[in-house]
Every structure is written in structure tokens, then in C-alpha cells.
Chains A and B, each alone.
Chain A
Amino acid sequence: KNEVEQSPQNLTAQEGEFITINCSYSVGISALHWLQQHPGGGIVSLFMLSSGKKKHGRLIATINIQEKHSSLHITASHPRDSAVYICAVPLISNFGNEKLTFGTGTRLTIIP
């Protein structure tokens, strides 16, 4: 079982739909990251959150530390939101330092 699991793996929706992507993790964490990777490959950090909720434009991220679950929501989705969304959590590596462990990503396609 992966330490960080995302669902769904793929999501296709019509422009304007409300989008939800989920992330569950199996260990205690200090913070959770939501990242966006466009087809060109570059990664943008969308949110880092350790409790509650954060909002940036049409993007909203929530986290429930007790349930070890986070969600990323996109309101009024647009074709330019099409990308892979990745959640990542810092875990302690075998060497004792913190390293990000990534979910497998959710490929989102918004159809005009």
C-alpha cells in the first residue's frame, strides 16, 4: 500500500464543473503539498497546508489531520486547468531527514 494515495487517477469534466481530487496518507505528517504539473513538465506548488483550508482564486485545498485526508477543489473549471495534480507529504527517510513522498497524481482534463 502506498503511503500517499490519490483518487481519481484520471478525471475528465466539462468546462465549468466543480472538481474534487482526493489525497489520503497513512502516516503522521507536518504539512501536505498540492502541486500542479502541466504537459510541458514544469511543477508549480499550489498549496502547502497543515490544517484547515486554504483558497487561492478558484482553487481550494482542505485537510483533515485526524482522518489523514486532503482534498483539492477547483470551482468553475476551465480548459487551462488541465494538468496533473499531485499531492505530496514530507516523510522521514531512511537517513533521518524529511523528504517529500508523492502521490501518483490525478490527470485532469477539462473539455471546452
Chain B
Amino acid sequence: GAVVSQHPSWVICKSGTSVKIECRSLDFQATTMFWYRQFPKQSLMLMATSNEGSKATYEQGVEKDKFLINHASLTLSTLTVTSAHPEDSSFYICSADTGGSYEQYFGPGTRLTVT
């Protein structure tokens, strides 16, 4: 149980375009979903926390208008990278929890390359 999927697993896009990444909890309802990015050989950095039906809470230094997060249902959150730049190339990982138990379940990640 407790499976989180991400789609796509990898994507290449051109500078200036937008890319949407989906994060789904397959067998549980996720009250909270987290979006992380990870640069090569570095640790995960939390970008934002989203709760179903409310606005995401962004970490300091993360541009809200650039990284749009929508948590439309208890099983789906999306991250849209708008007007992508090569420096947005990274590994994006989502995680989800059921609330109250501190358990977090991680998705397999999406590797974004912006050319």
C-alpha cells in the first residue's frame, strides 16, 4: 500500500515553455502533498507544501508564479513549471502523507531537462 506515482518520469522541453508534473496517491487519500527539487549530488529541498483545496505554502526563495501548484483532489497534486529556463532543469519529487502520522510516501521523481 501507500503508493505515490508521478507523471511523466522524465521530460525535455524548450526554454520558455511550460511543463506540468502530476503526483498521485494511488491507494490512499493524501491530505498534504510536498514538492521537492534535487540538484545532482545534493539533498532534497522542499519547494512547497500543498493541502487539498487550499493554496500551497511556498518555501522562502521559491517563486510562486513560476512554480504553480494545484492540489485539486485528495489524490492529485500538480506542479507546473512556467516559462521554463535551463536552470530549472532538476529532479522533482513529490511526497504525500495521510495527515497526523508523520509518514510520508515518496513518488519516483520526474527529471526535467530544459534546453
Which one of A30, A100, A104 contacts B46 once the chains associate, using CB atoms below 8 Å?
Answer: A100
Chain A contact-residue range equals: 20 to 34
B106 within 8 A of A: yes
Rounded to whole Å, the gap between the CB of A11 and the closest CB of chain B is 15
Do A97 and B106 form a contact, CB below 8 Å, given A41-B111, A103-B43?
Answer: no
- When the two chains form the complex, which single residue of A41, A45, A99, A105 contacts B43, counting CB atoms closer than 8 Å? A105
Closest CB in chain B relative to A41 CB, distance in Å = 4
Q: Which residues of B contact A (CB under 8 A)?
A: 34, 38, 42-44, 46, 49, 57, 59-60, 91, 93, 95, 102-109, 111
Chain A contacts for B93, CB-based, 8 A: 41, 43
| A31 and B34 alpha carbons, distance in the complex (Å) | 18
Neighbour of A42 across the interface among B43, B104, B109, CB < 8 A: B109
Contact residues in B for A31 (Cβ distance below 8 Å): 102
